[in-house]
Amino acid sequence: MKKLLIATTNPGKLAEIQRFLRDVPLELVSLKDVGITTSIEETGATFEENAILKAKTYAEASDLMTLADDGGFEIDALDGAPGVKSHRWVHSDRDSTDEELIAYTFTRMKDVPEKKRGARLTLVLALVQPGNPVVTTVKESIRGIVPLEPSTVRHEGFPYRSILYIPELGKFYDHVSFTPEETERYNHRKKALEKLKPILTSLC
């Protein structure tokens, strides 16, 4: 069975991708499984550039077909910030903690009126095969609002899911609280992976 390297250092992302790709006949392996411990400096100006950078670098290091992603939180009233800086919004030299990001978001949004609190989580997936110059990318987003207070629920590695509220659902973007039907309709990572499945299946 062919292997697919899931190139993320986030355990929550890894588990979610493995769950959504469980019906694809590929052996899903992690960076830890193949002995890669180095992280990559994300120097791209866009989510797509960063996703491609990670996919290409890890594919070369592992000699495996590689899937990488990049994404972040984009707030309308802050001109799309934090965007590609979503994990280093508070500290420029290191990743911020989940609680720092949550608290800082509400500090920045303190004076923004309710009608202008639109935001979205955006994700880009990049698929690379070793020695093949072709890169496949897909993009998905989920829109909602930044409410006046965050959710009391936390999911390690996913701080913005405690911030993004989906009015039509009456719920935060909390994957644990979603019904299977809501996951199908709203989970942006699942929707992005569904776009890639025909390509992955053809490569098995």
Looking up tokens 């699942």 gives 190
Q: With contact defined as beta carbons under 8 Å apart, do 124 and 138 qualify? A: yes
Measured between alpha carbons, how far is 76 from 59 in angstroms, rounded to an integer?
Answer: 35
Measured between alpha carbons, how far is 107 from 116 in angstroms, rounded to an integer?
Answer: 15
Measured between alpha carbons, how far is 99 from 137 in angstroms, rounded to an integer?
Answer: 31
**70: annotated active-site residue:** yes
Catalytic residue among 69, 70, 98, 174: 70
Measured between alpha carbons, how far is 79 from 127 in angstroms, rounded to an integer?
Answer: 29
Q: Are β-strands 165-166 and 118-128 bridged in parallel, bridged antiparallel, or unpaired? A: unpaired
Measured between alpha carbons, how far is 125 from 29 in angstroms, rounded to an integer?
Answer: 16
Which residues are known to be catalytic? 70
